[in-house]
């Protein structure tokens, strides 16, 4: 059974992102559990890399904090193996780490991902044209390799990506890097329209932070909402303001529930 595709079987879902090791490993375990309690059906867990080119300032700072706290690929896999997570985990990282990991690079990374329970990978700096080896190993070991489609991705490349992709397609809602935005970009609708003919779950990320945005995205044809900066920002504010770990967990769970309500169409704007 494909755990990631199965996660979409009961309707549109929330896919939250946090950076592993921010501010420490034990906190990450608790935050993931809070997100699952809040209704997340897939967890996107960031493996920190020193040059996170697809990420905006909020996530970049979280990645830096995790690196300063000692997070490494080896510790990341140990951390995931301790989580006993009830939903699939997707690792989001950069190709430099994958390419240099272990005795047999790439194969070692995928093998250790499988051993600790990871179901999928997002590698934003790996073009589909250069992904053949990683894709081959992922297919052999039952790991979904998830590609990002940007507003500028041409139709010919979309077709090529859709021939290779598995799990779901990550639809980049707007140009630029990740972050918190107040509106849903027009490019979101345009991208979803272009992908409507492909029979694979479509999850929209980059900028989602509230229930109304989530409802609008699902109403436009998405099968999932990816939210990262909003959760990472809550974690950082809790750290900076001396909020207890217990209260931060509660706030994260509540925000996840809010986004899930939006995904289900249960927002203030949709009340009779």
Annotation marks residue 216 as catalytic: no
Residue 226 bridge partners (DSSP)? 15
Residue 45 bridge partners (DSSP)? 18, 91
The three-class DSSP label of residue 17 is: strand
Give the active site residue among 44, 216, 223, 253: 44
Pull the structure tokens for residue 206: 């980059």
Distances (CA, A) of 108 to 102, 130, 140, 177: 5, 18, 13, 29
Annotation marks residue 55 as catalytic: yes
Closest of 90, 98, 103 to residue 144, by C-alpha: 90
For 15, the enclosing helix (H) or strand (E) is strand 13-19
Nearest 5°: the CA angle 170, 173, 175 is 110
Distances (CA, A) of 55 to 48, 101, 134, 177, 186: 11, 22, 22, 5, 20
Most distant CA pair in the chain, distance:
60
Pull the structure tokens for residue 226: 């990816």
Give the active site residue among 10, 24, 26, 55: 55
CA atoms of 19 and 87, how far apart (whole Å): 17
Find the DSSP H helices in 82-223: 95-100, 107-116, 132-141, 155-164, 186-195, 211-219
The three-class DSSP label of residue 195 is: helix
Residues taking part in catalysis: 44, 55
């Amino acid at each position: 059974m494909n755990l990631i595709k199965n996660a979409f079987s009961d309707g549109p879902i929330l896919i939250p992102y946090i950076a592993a090791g921010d501010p420490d490993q034990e906190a990450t375990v608790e935050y993931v559990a809070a997100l699952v309690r809040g209704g997340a059906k897939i967890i996107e867990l960031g493996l920190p890399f020193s040059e996170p080119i697809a990420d905006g300032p909020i996530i970049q700072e979280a990645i830096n904090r995790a690196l300063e706290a000692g997070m490494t690929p080896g510790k990341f896999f140990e951390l995931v193996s301790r989580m006993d997570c009830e939903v699939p985990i997707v690792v989001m990282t950069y190709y430099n780490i994958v390419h240099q990991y272990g005795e047999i690079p790439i194969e070692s990374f995928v093998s250790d991902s499988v051993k600790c329970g990871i179901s999928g990978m997002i590698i934003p700096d790996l073009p589909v044209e250069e992904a053949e080896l990683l894709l081959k190993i992922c297919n052999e070991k039952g790991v979904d390799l998830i590609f990002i489609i940007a507003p500028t991705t041409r139709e010919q490349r979309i077709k090529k990506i859709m021939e290779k992709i598995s799990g779901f397609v990550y639809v980049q809602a707007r140009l630029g890097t990740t972050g918190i935005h107040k509106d849903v970009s027009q490019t979101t609708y345009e991208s979803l329209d272009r992908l409507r003919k492909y029979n694979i779950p479509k999850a929209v990320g980059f900028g989602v932070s509230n229930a109304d945005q989530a409802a609008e995205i699902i109403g436009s044809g998405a099968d999932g909402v990816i939210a990262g900066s909003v959760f990472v920002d809550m974690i950082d504010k809790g750290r900076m303001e001396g909020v207890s770990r217990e209260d931060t967990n509660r706030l994260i769970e509540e925000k996840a529930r809010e986004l899930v309500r939006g995904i289900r169409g249960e927002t203030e704007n949709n009340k009779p």
